[in-house]
Amino acid sequence: MHLNFENSEEKLIVYMSGELDHHSAEEVRNMIDDRLDRDNYNKLIMDFAGVSFMDSSGIGVVIGRYRKLHMRSGKVCVTNIKSSVKRVFELSGMFKIIMSYDNVEQAVNNI
Amino acid sequence: MFHNRVKIEFLSKSQNESFARVAVAAFAAQLDPTIDEISDVKTAVSEAVTNAIIHGYNSEEEMITIEAIIDGTELTVIISDSGQGIDNLEVAMQPLYTSRPDLERSGMGFTVMEAFMDSLEVKSDKGTGTSIIMKKIFNPLS
């Protein structure tokens, strides 16, 4: 799993690429949390354009970041969700609390 | 009826999650699956193997066995560990239940396996291990 970070309007954008499973989840979680804490962000955009595989470990990673930022009155959203990733997220009912946008630009303008 | 069978054994390291799902997907490729069907199988296998690593063996390194069988257009995948077994199967299979909230697990593993495969059977005995038996029927291209 490879992560690229960007800052736009005080919002942290993380571009993920590779496979998000139990093995990669811990590293992804730690790297994102380090950035969130270091620069004290309260808005996070997680971009899934490069995620070629995801199992339910991905739900844990997104919900975990939601919980973390919710305590700072912040927000998490996801972007570029393709059908295989979407089907896993839909099973969890996650979209009731976490917004999904077609692309990063839309997310930056809306959260 | 066409019949084929493979058996794979590997250590319960998280690095092998990706190996396991790709190996089963490669075996299933002879059924001419769609991209969605292959993605379903990979996701279900990943969930079962992750469960064996985290819960079955509690992150100790032991062997996990996968048997994959093709009968006609049906794929059966059996994922077995000799770990601690599941205390209460009914509770464990409920959506969002996790015995390890400390690990930020979503509790969706069995739900994903049930949703992405056509059938799911779990055999578990306390102290002797768990077997997950999943089946999926592939629609032949016509």
Residue B124 pLDDT > 80: yes
CATH 3.30.1490.20: does it fit domain A2-110? no
Mean pLDDT of B37-60: 95
Query: Are the beta carbons of B14 and A61 separated by less than 8 Å?
Result: no
pLDDT digits (tens, 9 = 90+) for B80-111: 999 999 988 888 998 888 888 778 888 999 99
> What confidence score (pLDDT) does residue B105 get?
85
Q: Is the ipTM of this complex over 0.90?
A: yes
The rounded Cα A29 to chain-centroid distance in angstroms is 10
User: Which residue in chain B is spatially nearest to A58 when comparing CA positions?
Assistant: B106
Active site residue B104: no
The residues spanned by each domain of chain A are 2-110
Residues of chain B with Cβ-Cβ distance to A60 below 8 Å are 103-106
Query: Are the beta carbons of A88 and B43 separated by less than 8 Å?
Result: yes
Mean pLDDT of B23-32: 97
Residue B142 pLDDT > 80: no
Q: CA of B1 to nearest chain A CA: how many angstroms apart?
A: 31
Superfamily of the domain at B3-137: Histidine kinase-like ATPase, C-terminal domain (3.30.565.10)
Residue B104 neighbours by CB under 8 Å, 6+ apart: A25, A29, A60, A61, A63, A64
The residues spanned by each domain of chain B are 3-137
